[in-house]
Structure 1
Amino acid sequence: MTTRPARTQLGSTGPATSALGLGCMGMSALYGPADETESIATVHAALDAGVTLLDTGDFYGMGHNELLIHDALRSRNREDVQISVKFGAQRGPDESWLGYDASPAATKTALAYTLRRLRTDYIDVYRPARLDPNVPIEETVGAIADLVKAGYVRHIGLSEVGAATLRRAAAVHPISDLQIEYSLISRGLEAEVLPTARELGIGITAYGVLSRGLISGHWSNDRAVDKADFRGFSPRFQGDNLAHNLSLVEALRAIAEAKGASVAQVAIAWVSSRGADIVPLVGARRRDRLTEALGALDVTLSQADLDAIEAAIPAGAAAGERYSAAQMAHLDSEH
């Protein structure tokens, strides 16, 4: 039987939660069509397995993901689940991306709609999806702090911000956690952001731990990509970049097979091994992928294993940026 995830706390001030979370974005957006019935069954399976942290964004499927989570939680006790919500991304009716708005009025309006879609009285962790270049982070955090005082939000998180922004935000209100991409091939936070978060007592919720399936062990050079799947445009999934990155996966596969584990399980276990303050989010859309991800809890990496992984995939080994140039420009964490 697969081990149940341990209980942990998001940072020094955040909620108690499971040490592994479920990222729900792919159930509604960006990875092509998903089966809604299977998605809900996957959420139920995660909860039954002891995963209590559900991560979403109000712009995932233009509200669809929040509605889906509401449907999945109909028969569950709200107090047993921690819901983390990102806001601020602006979308057009044609699903185009229009920028970010994390002004105080937009922040409070977004939360009002989120509470209605989720049919809940509060959000456990509320966070801007990106730093709004037109709004000082102090104003955004101050607006969420108002919502905390009013009881609509329990904790404040951030997403993809740099060390300086973390410090400015934490000076206004305690920050529970920083959501940021972290995987064997996305390690940019290690130099400055992670040490600063630890200094401030801010936890890390790590998304993209399998680099959107690229290092899952299931991706192939000839895989067809749906036109609605953003991986069809992602630099790391293109041409020579893809071939190079898949060669890294094969090096990791040899290590995984020697341990009797899958590539995905070793990749997830590696992120977990980086510290007790790091909670990986797995983006499973199906129960079989969830089962595989949960198997990472049974994988213990020795120092020899970690050394072998580092030799196979050293920091900076990936070919291509993690987003397009336009999207990278929105990442305060990369500046």
Structure 2
Amino acid sequence: MDLKVSHLQLITDIVKLGSLTLAAKAQGWAVSTASRNLQNLQEYFNDPLFVRTHQGMVPTDTVKRLLPDIQNLIASLSKLDQKKVFDPSFLHMTLTIGAADNAILAILLPVIRHLLKVCPDIKVRLQPLSGYQFENLAQGELDFLLYPTSCIQTLPTHFKSLLLNPIQRAILVASDHPLAEKYRQEGDVTLSDLCAYPRIAIKLQDRNKEAIFNLDLKERYYSKTVVEIPYFLGAPYLLLGTRNTVLLPRSTAIFFEKHIVGLTSIPVTLDAPSPYTRLIWHERSDSSVEMQWIRSVIKTYAGVADDKVIFDGEPPVFPKS
């Protein structure tokens, strides 16, 4: 016979209920069907399995010996079957995202808060960007990559992406900086105004010493660079008491302005279109229901301005928690 879960369930039901009739009812079978399956099981195990007594059907020693394994097997198969219907509260994994150090401020804070609330067994790991990031995605060392469209226009083969929020930019300066005073008086500063002052350049370098993440403006390259650093979060501390300027994503600049006394953010309006933050993943995880759900969370909580997703098929829609 081909042993099925329903056959094993029949054994546990008879043990629990002490009756073939009641076990058949629990399975939704006719008594004759249950009796025939029990006979097949007796032949399979070469054992009567149950003895009829005035107290009902009593399991043999063979059933008593096998029962723990049978129950564990049923539980395991039941759990496996439940995974066909995705429930994020049962998600148990480490989610690894490659991103610049300001991503937690600009994009990921509400995403991580939601994930930790809905998925108690998830762990989120953030990794710094490097020249090996696409190799890491392909090899499974990263699940997602957050990267600006200004740094890479066309993705390598086998990678897919989703555009998140546009990257508006702002200049961050000390509150007593002449540009801050000009902005307070006139409500605007020009690009030529910015170029008159030294800049702090933020460049995340790759293995070839080229910038892999640089949001600065080419026009500002004519101004004097006094410090070049590979981190967003260290830049504001180099502004206080100086005439230095630093160009940041606007959300990051506003965060620093609110949390560090003595700094002022100045919006920068450009004629050219703003770059976008791009969520990138490898095709190996494209069909994963778990990863599709996580992408929907990032899309919802990070804010999306472009709904064009590169999918072989549309992802399922999950309700917001």
Bin of the TM-score, shorter chain as denominator length: under 0.3
**TM-score scaled to structure 1, two decimals?**
0.24
Larger Rg: 2
| Structure with more strand by fraction | 2
